[in-house]
A and B are shown apart, each in its own frame.
Chain A
Amino acid sequence: MATSQTENTAPATPGANTVNTVKTHPTASGGTVASTVPVGAVYAEGSALDWGASLVEGAVVLDEQVSPNAPWSAVVAEGHVLTIVDVGGNQSADCVLYNADDPEERYSVPDTLAWQGNAYVRTGTVLRSNEGRPLMTVVANEIDRQDTIGGACGKESNTLRYGHHVMFHHGCRENFLAEASRRGLGVRDLVSNLNWFMNVPVEADGALGIVDGMSAPGRRVAVRAETDVLVLVSNCPQMNNPCNDFNPTPLRMIVVDPPSPPSPASPASPASPDGASRRPARGPGTPEGAA
């Protein structure tokens, strides 16, 4: 295939990926760049963006934007609440959590699912560690359900789904490795993850897959740290499935320090969205937070 070919990229569609071509890409700042790097779908000009705001009141301690395709991490202190804004809609925020003081304790999909007796993440879901302990709790959620089954895309696993021609497409595993290395973590520390704003239904016969999203520009999820938590995020570059509507868009990450509860010694008000997790967790086998 000619390498001198220049294409203006429309919003990418499945099967529209070509290899070894020079493409001009619109940038978030409104310019264009010509590149041979196989980024596939790109941030489409004119995308509807809603930068939103924190879902929970409180003093803002962090407010950052994550570029399309890029990684991000931060330590969220115990009691602080992280709001993730799906700025462009259907942008999968792949996410792994670590106990900031002991990163060998990290997010566990099976523990999270088994403790709540449900395969999906919704308001009230306690995000548990490989030791079964709470790392974070979903305190507010603006889509029907969040995914934690589908895992992360990777250069290697993408070849199984789409063919070997996608080997050099960027992937979340690359983002995780790059960002983890800045925190002294590595490939041994990568485990199955959360996918905020991604839709992975499981059919009655066990068929499952990533399908068209249920999010929209400005939709948010808010999670409260139950201990000091290192949050690792890959703003998914995936351009071969509908996880980001074939249009990677930015994320906004806002951390707030909510006002102290009136009486820390007493259970939180049931009216509070975060009331459930402040009470003792129910026993194993009893669904929790499976609203």
Chain B
Amino acid sequence: MMTTTEGPTADTPHGGQHTGCSGEQQPAESPFQQQTPAKVRDLHLTDSVHSARDDARAQGGQAGEWMPYLPASAGPHCPPGVDRAALVWAETVAPGGYTHKVVARGSRLRFDDPTGDACAHLLLFNALEPVERLNVADTQKIPWQAYLGVNHPLLSGDGRIMAVVSGDSSGRHDAFCGTTTDAWNARKYGDARPEGPSPSGRGLFVKAAAKHGLNRRDLPPSVSFFQGVRVQADGALTWQGSAGPGAHVELVAEMPLLVLVANVAHPLDPRPGYVVGPLRVHAWRGAATGPDEERFTATPELHRAYLNTVDYCEARGL
């Protein structure tokens, strides 16, 4: 099964592969280095409760390539210009991993694609009333624009802005293809298990949603960042790939949000291997878009969507 993971990122295996486990990440000076191959069993003395406890505790404090950084202000990748003390979320999501967070109204979210191979599949829910959720059809139809970019609102089906794209150095995103299903990945990679080498985005969304009491019934179509798709005149969907390493996208949460993120290969990625890179996620405290900001009245549709959103939040005491 593992042989289906291949390609340019073969040296950065997909997430969940025992990241942070001391058995696979021994320091270079490990006394066990000469024992090849070192077996995990040989690296841990756990023959009593005390030794097991000591062994486990000795693993704390290690750093992995992908992990949450707690507190967020201690994260190693604080975005430029951001007050480190204002960070509420700092995490590097593994390739093939997922994450989720509830963030306050006004929070700023930033996704970074350090390798050019991340693909951030995103679902948004009103954190207070999760029946209000991202509606991709309205997100494309209302602004008269299918391609996501700066000032593009991510709309709910209730006529309100959940979040708005406030920064974008990539320009390669997709609101057409959603994320991958088990059927898709099983066919394309031979495996779609969430614990396997090529998990589907939907399989990860199901787990992220479940941790908030939601189930597959609650998963509408998603949007994705960093791997673009364009529509040809005959309707053909063409995959653009990424803008390269270092791209980022920023959002403003215009209401309290439950954010679900799956970092998996895009459905139309033509590469034979399951290629996906780590995804950095940051959030920090901020203010929702206000009436004095240009974006608030940038288009008639945006203006009314903001009026609806502010109306909701004011009445809700937010």
Contacts and interface: CB of A to CB of B under 8 A. Distances in A.
B144 A285 contact: no
A136 interface: no
Contacts of B230: 206
Interface in B211-258: 215-222, 230-231, 233-237
Contacts of A173: 157
Contact of A161 (B136, B142, B181, B233): B142
Contact of A190 (B141, B157, B270): B157
B221 A110 contact: yes
A162 to B, nearest CB: 9
A160 B218 CA distance: 24
Given A118-B237, A164-B304, A192 B183 contact: no
B18 interface: no
Nearest to A151: B137
A156 B308 contact: yes
A120 B158 contact: no
B234 to A, nearest CB: 7
A contact patch SS: loop
Interface in B166-193: 176-179, 181-184, 187-188
Contacts, number: 157
Contacts of B141: 149-151, 157, 200, 208-210
Contacts of A202: 146, 231, 235
A205 B171 CA distance: 12
Interface in A213-251: none
Interface string B105-144: 0000000000000000000000000010001111011101
A154 B155 CA distance: 13
Contacts of B144: 207-209
13 contacts: A110-B136, A113-B177, A119-B235, A120-B235, A131-B202, A156-B160, A159-B308, A200-B141, A206-B145, A207-B144, A208-B141, A284-B267, A287-B236
Contacts of A109: 136-137, 178, 221
Interface in B8-36: none
B235 A284 contact: no
Contacts of A188: 131, 217-218
A118 B157 contact: no
B43 interface: no
B301 interface: yes
A277 B114 CA distance: 41
A177 to B, nearest CB: 11
A208 B235 CA distance: 12
A251 B243 CA distance: 46
A111 B181 contact: yes
Given A108-B221, A130-B202, A284-B188, A119 B237 contact: yes
A131 B183 contact: yes
Interface residues on A, range: 35 or more
A14 B270 CA distance: 44
The residue in B144, B145, B231 that gathers the most chain A C-beta atoms within 10 A of its C-beta is B231
B269 to A, nearest CB: 8
Nearest to B222: A110
A114 interface: yes
A187 interface: yes
Given A188-B218, A192-B220, 5 more contacts: A109-B136, A150-B137, A160-B304, A202-B231, A208-B141
A51 interface: no
A115 B178 CA distance: 11
Given A206-B145, A209-B141, A160 B305 contact: yes
Interface string B146-165: 11000000010111100000
A283 B221 contact: no
A206 B174 CA distance: 11
A193 interface: yes
Nearest to B142: A160
B117 to A, nearest CB: 17
Contact of B137 (A113, A149, A189): A149
A261 interface: no
A192 B221 contact: yes
Contacts of B218: 188
A90 B215 CA distance: 37
The residue in A115, A118, A192, A204 that gathers the most chain B C-beta atoms within 10 A of its C-beta is A192
A158 B141 CA distance: 11
B231 to A, nearest CB: 4
Given A110-B177, A285-B268, A130 B216 contact: yes
